[in-house]
Chains A and B, each alone.
Chain A
């Protein structure tokens, strides 16, 4: 056994300072690695997202159409036509506007709003209308709500005809509207068949 064996050696002296710096170092390395990984993931996602949007675009429009669209002048087609019309006759434009009026358009705010927020006409949501609607809903729920044991008119009439002195079949027992296409087809077939057999 050699006296200089490593096992026998006294432990290396490490100062508190160096140990501390080492520990900080390793911690930093770990943090950096995590960040790098995160960044990589982000990059990957971004690329994927871009790919998706690209694919969507490609699905919507063919390349040549997109090219023709991009080749068009900056001014939108619609407005230029409108202006032409306006130059020709003032009345026609008025008519166009009149026609457009009844169409309900979504209101666009002047400033940007948070997500899930939108601009509405206050008139439609006035206190009075809302209250009236609520009151009507309350009555409807109280009289015809799910807990109320309501039947249908057909069932009611069927029970009445079954319990009556003169027994009758159930009301609307057969649905007349059922299989209309098939009925027509069979009728036509019958006609043809009769024709063929010379009946």
Chain B
């Protein structure tokens, strides 16, 4: 499959931030997810769970709750006491509004999307009216003693139920008066004072209230009478999250031990009309606390402190076998957090709060295939650059020569120049950067390091001309036609050809524009596909644009002839291998091997692939992963059985791949056990025989 000297980089200390809360919108099939570091992500379930939008976090904003309202508007509330609405076009905060009730624990919109309710630390529930572009305070409900940790609307909007320590309160939403206080069992156990924290509540249209609490019980209450109907002991640890399906026939709870339980509303005997909630299946996909669950019509979604997002389809609700019928576990972001200076062999790692620049190690020994070469010069941390202010870093980039570093937060662009003189490194921030017309979202240096392309909203790219120690704003590249889908038109991928002639710009609406950067003009557009592109790259010699889409489809586009290439058409006609299409994660990076122009190097989180265009494409009958079996065959058999996809799964989980100027391959791995070692402590579980 081609021989490379591989830098197996394992010093990128990436730890995913834990999932704090989630909200699923059935109409748009989008999942909004907030993490502990305050970042917000939107995943589109209809385009193969692709991470469409990422809004970076802010240190001052700790999100506790997230909700969709009025179609496509996203609100969060957090312990800083503010309600935040996001601009999903510009990927930034639209406005924040102080609720004046202290830290906010929960935010929820009613079913008809007219009101938002927030529950606060000071014991008040505040109602806000959703107007067309803002929200307005309406009223307070009867104030309670103590913090209100969770909140739920009645599906008809008549009642609001809140949960606090040892108590559940039922309010009348229209009058704002307290109707019932439901008291939980807080008798001391074994002489120890016990607090029962209600972590989540839900109200069903049948007039039942469901609550989960820190004693590991799921309780079913009557809303009108205020009485306890049923108790389910679920676990010995806290139950932290609860979600009910829209049809109200199934619910999921997430526990501190990492187990997710499903309950179904079914009749115990066939033919009987009376139904009960029955615990059906436990799902153990998490190692740490499950702090957020959501329920779509066909799947249960859970997110935990371990940073995993798990989508488990419910088989009885899926009719056709499709991509959605398999379990998906999303751990790593769908964009690169690493960039590489190919000429100088440096890697730039992006963390939310700082950047790290590393010099790769060296060896002067060569060996046979599979040998582990001893490192002569170890890798070296050259630079640690802390961000300014409280905003997290959105995107970062290092130039090919390794002498420019640029990063952007949600509001500002930073550019630094690196001088390197004989082990003496000095960094200088380029002062007075020109004011950009719109917020920077994606960065890319041209191969000659004389330009910085800044991708922005609306598919446009600002060009910054770099000279020694200074920076000037050049022209803005704009797509010729206004894109149909404004909300998905922010630039999320860019690629530039090695001679710097062409720049390809992609947006999640799968609009891909190609510009000629010599004359700063739009050259052509790639025919639009139904799925967002996940990676793209321009071939150094043939200048073909290779695109990987989120549904694992591959395309090759000839820029000069403005059409798909012959090979690309063959791929489209034959279709790709079934195993290829059913892979877990989208292709994250594409590179080319200068010594073998017919090869395309690709990677996702769990495999590295060399696609040899000169070999025939495999059909569904031949195995896709055949590299190990090929090794044991004779030369002739090897020739007859070889196909285009040469895949290795030796390097896992893979976060980045690039080819250095001297032909060395750089693969950045992040083993899961290293991540687990850096997470908060999990619950202690007794295992037999340990």
Contact = CB atoms under 8 A, between A and B. Distances in A.
Nearest to A150: B681
A132 B122 CA distance: 11
Contact of B687 (A153, A154, A163): A163
B629 interface: no
A143 B80 contact: no
A108 interface: no
Contacts of B62: 136
Interface in B96-130: 102-103, 105, 121-122
Contacts of B238: 142-143, 148
A134 B121 CA distance: 9
A149 B684 contact: yes
B677 A148 contact: no
Nearest to B679: A153
Interface centre among B122, B192, B681 (most CB of A within 10 A): B681
B689 interface: yes
B306 to A, nearest CB: 11
Contact of A128 (B102, B684, B689): B102
Contacts of A156: 287, 676, 681-682
Contact of B103 (A131, A150, A159): A131
B678 interface: yes
Given A132-B80, A143-B256, A162-B690, A153 B681 contact: yes
Contact of B677 (A132, A138, A157): A157
A139 to B, nearest CB: 8
Contacts of A134: 121
A155 B690 CA distance: 11
Given A138-B147, A156-B676, A144 B79 contact: no
A132 B681 contact: no
Contacts of B676: 153, 156-157
A171 B689 CA distance: 17
Report the contact-size class of chain A (Cβ under 8 Å from the partner): 20 to 34
A152 interface: yes
Most buried by B among A134, A143, A151: A143
A148 B79 contact: no
Nearest to A140: B680
A136 B63 CA distance: 12
A156 B81 CA distance: 36
A24 interface: no
B81 A131 contact: yes
A163 B682 CA distance: 17
Contacts of A131: 81, 102-103, 121-122
A36 B681 CA distance: 67
A86 interface: no
A175 to B, nearest CB: 14
A66 interface: no
Dominant secondary structure of chain A at its interface with chain B: helix
A151 B673 contact: no
A163 B79 contact: no
Contacts of A152: 681
Contact of A135 (B147, B678, B680): B147
B214 interface: yes
Contacts of A155: 684
Contacts of B147: 135, 138
A1 to B, nearest CB: 85
A153 B683 contact: no
A171 B682 contact: no
B292 interface: no
A143 B682 CA distance: 10
Contact of B81 (A128, A144, A157): A128
A42 to B, nearest CB: 50
A138 B146 CA distance: 12
A135 B79 contact: yes
B357 interface: no
B74 interface: no
Given A136-B79, A159-B687, A163-B690, A151 B682 contact: yes
B81 A132 contact: yes
B683 A142 contact: no
Contacts of B103: 131-132, 135
Interface in A150-180: 150-157, 159, 162-163, 171-172
B289 A153 contact: no
B36 to A, nearest CB: 11
Contacts of B684: 149-151, 155
Interface in A74-110: none
Contacts of A144: 680-681
Contacts of B340: none
B197 interface: yes
A151 to B, nearest CB: 4
A142 B102 contact: no
Q: Which of A134, A135, A152 has the most CB of B within 10 A?
A: A135
A171 B677 contact: yes
Nearest to B305: A143
A199 to B, nearest CB: 23
A154 B677 contact: yes
A138 B121 CA distance: 11
Contacts of A151: 681-685
Contacts of B289: 143
Contacts of B121: 131, 134-135
Interface string B187-209: 00000100001000000000000
B213 to A, nearest CB: 11
Given A131-B121, A155-B684, A156-B681, 5 more contacts: A142-B238, A149-B684, A159-B685, A163-B687, A163-B690
- List 8 tightest A-B contacts by C-beta distance, closest first: A151-B684, A135-B103, A150-B681, A131-B102, A149-B684, A153-B677, A132-B79, A135-B79
11 contacts: A132-B80, A134-B121, A135-B79, A135-B103, A135-B147, A148-B237, A149-B683, A151-B682, A153-B676, A153-B677, A155-B684
Interface of A: 128, 131-132, 134-136, 138, 142-144, 147-157, 159, 162-163, 171-172
